[in-house]
A = this chain, B = another copy of it.
């Protein structure tokens, strides 16, 4: 403060008063001009903009939000930013938010409740106007702090009691049905499923959708062919190995996520099996890398852009149009099958 005061006026970063002085108007007029108030006359408005330009003036967002009560910051909490699924999601969320005049506060929980607590605290301290909690986990309890502070939340696949919360429902069903149909059309009848950890809502939903898809094409669900993995590459390897030990083996494997599928690809390669000649593999997510595996992975795409868009819209609604937000508290994001080279007709011996 003191230091600031001793600086020569000329090299101080310009404030609204400086602009007002230069434009020979009141600070109220400058404020109105910046905020696009329609009452300002063209004559003054022009002078103000000129002054702003000349001084290279940027409004002080802290002061602005302090008085307006709106921070124009949205938080996004992901499970782990180094998981390739999330950066694209963050990127989209950032783009949409910035285009709409919001800033974003990113943080990863790393599936650690203590870290999540810190994340939530940071969000509250910075007075975010809403938080997208895209951890796909089960840490709902920590979120009470958010609801306590009246901060809107949007969650994936979980409904919170709080009236300021919204939910994004993921329609895995469409993509999974498409995947099963695709395999059936190729001639597969022996289809295994490497599930995600049952602690995740999303993993359970996906597994149920697999079961119903199998039923819809009248295919039997072989108990040993559904294995709970952990959504990691190593989990995929382990799942595949377990399948290999079975007397009767599937000709196709659908995986709960891409990392699992990549693990299967790798394990199959190690065993000397050719994908897709000997085995078809389908993932879920369509992470960037899916395109670059060997062979490129056929997978069920969960569009991060769509997910980000839904999350933003949910929060924007809560922040800007609370009445509408009360009515629409659920948002649907769809999935679709992306055909690449990891699926093909089953081997002749199995085709009989």
Contact = CB atoms under 8 A, between A and B. Distances in A.
A103 interface: yes
Nearest to A149: B13
Contacts of A289: 289
Nearest to A289: B289
A159 B58 CA distance: 27
Contacts of A107: 94, 98
A40 to B, nearest CB: 21
Contact of A61 (B1, B108, B125, B150): B125
Given A1-B69, A56-B145, 7 more contacts: A58-B149, A81-B90, A90-B106, A91-B108, A233-B292, A262-B292, A266-B294
Contacts of A122: 98, 103
A141 to B, nearest CB: 15
Contacts of A62: 62-63, 65-66, 71, 126-127
A23 B150 CA distance: 24
Contacts of A91: 81-82, 108
Contact of A126 (B61, B81, B84, B262): B61
A58 B106 contact: no
Nearest to A291: B233
A61 B98 CA distance: 21
B98 A288 contact: no
Interface string A281-299: 0000000110010100000
A188 B247 CA distance: 46
A82 B149 CA distance: 33
Contacts of A103: 105, 122, 126
Interface in A240-298: 262, 266, 269, 288-289, 292, 294
Q: Is chain A's binding surface mostly helix, strand, loop or mixed?
A: helix
Interface of A: 1, 4, 13, 56, 58-63, 65-66, 68-69, 71, 81-82, 84, 86-88, 90-91, 94, 98, 103-108, 118, 121-122, 124-127, 145, 148-150, 233, 262, 266, 269, 288-289, 292, 294
Given A103-B122, A262-B292, A66 B66 contact: yes
B288 A269 contact: no
A292 B279 CA distance: 20
A277 to B, nearest CB: 15
A87 B65 CA distance: 30
Contacts of A233: 292
A127 B94 contact: no
Given A90-B81, A94-B108, A288-B82, A125 B58 contact: yes
Choose among A62, A94, A292 the residue with the greatest number of B CB atoms under 10 Å from its CB: A62
A76 to B, nearest CB: 10
A65 B71 CA distance: 13
